[in-house]
Structure 1
Amino acid sequence: MSNEHPYPPAFRSDDLVSVSGRLGLTESGALVPGGFDAECPQAFANLDAALRSVGASRADVVKVVVYLIDIADRDRLNRVYEEFFAEPRPARTCVGVASLPYGGAVEVEALARVRDA
């Protein structure tokens, strides 16, 4: 994904990883077509990529915050969340917002703790 922003997709400090908000963008920086149903899985795929970029994985995630422009999408979010994370799933907060960058429908951020192998 194109990163023209003054912050990294993810930042690691020792065993703590913070992932900046991930939208449903393609590598070219455009929203995937198809609205929420396409953007949500793409946002989680982008979360995965950001985690990997700093040596973490979805299994390391302890907290997720999801921003939705339509809180009615929460049930569809839950389905994607259940497919993305294995049990035990991380804690999650879901917040309804007025708008998101690029006109996105969903944005996902995460906090992870990388355990030594």
Structure 2
Amino acid sequence: MGRKTYTGKSMTSSGPYSHAVDAGDFIYFSGQTGYNGADYQGEKYDITTQTKKSFAYLKDALDQAGVTFDDIVKVNVYLTGMKYFEEMNSVYQTMFNEPFPARTCVAVYELPLGADVEIECIVKKPV
């Protein structure tokens, strides 16, 4: 049995993974950083810009799968330091409407591509 996957048009993969994998009732979206853009040229971004770009790349993959931010049930946010929490959160809260999805936010030692934030999510397909 093959996997049904979705690929965002505006981003690349920094490893051997799919942007999203359909698992029946749920779609699992790989983490995106602000540096996953297909047009990325090596510039460095502040945490606010990285967070906005991470969500833009997730939206691209969501669009390809035919779902929206309102369909997201779980989000995992990875930060290279909790010093970025408030800035990330100020962007995050603009992306969702109440009731908000479940979320985990953890600090990690480092992230791919030198990013300071990576965001992944799980969608429950609409009925």
1:83 maps to 94
Determine if contact 2:79/2:118 at 8 Å carries over to the other structure.
yes
Mapped partners of 2:68, 2:75: distance in 1 = 13
Residue 33 of structure 1, CA deviation = 3.4
Unaligned runs of 5+ in 2: 1-10
Question: What's the CA shift for 1:6?
Answer: 2.1
Task: Give 4+ residue runs of structure 1 displaced > 3 Å after superposition.
Answer: 29-33
Assess if the C-alpha contact under 8 Å between 1:62 and 1:113 holds in 2: yes
- Aligned position for 1:48: 59
What is the root-mean-square deviation in Å for CA atoms of aligned residues? 1.6
Alignment of 1:1-117 (within 5 A): 1-3=11-13, 5-25=15-35, 26-30=37-41, 33-116=44-127
Counterpart secondary structure, 1:62? strand
Identity of aligned residues (%): 34
**Aligned partner of 1:13: which letter?**
A
- Larger deviation: 13-22 or 100-109? 13-22
Residue identity in the other structure for 1:87: E
- Aligned residue pairs, count: 116
Contact 1:22 1:109 in 2 (8 A): yes
CA distance in 2, matches of 1:75, 1:32: 23
Check the 8 A contact 1:32/1:39 in 2, yes or no.
no
Letter in 1 for 2:56: A
TM-score, reference length from structure 1 = 0.90
1:70 is displaced (CA, Å) by 1.3
Structure 1, unmatched stretches of 5+, are none
The worse-fitting range, judged by mean Cα deviation, of 28-37 and 71-80 is 28-37
- Distance, in Å, in 2 between the alignment partners of 1:82 and 1:55 is 22
**How many angstroms apart in 2 are the aligned matches of 1:31 and 1:21?**
19
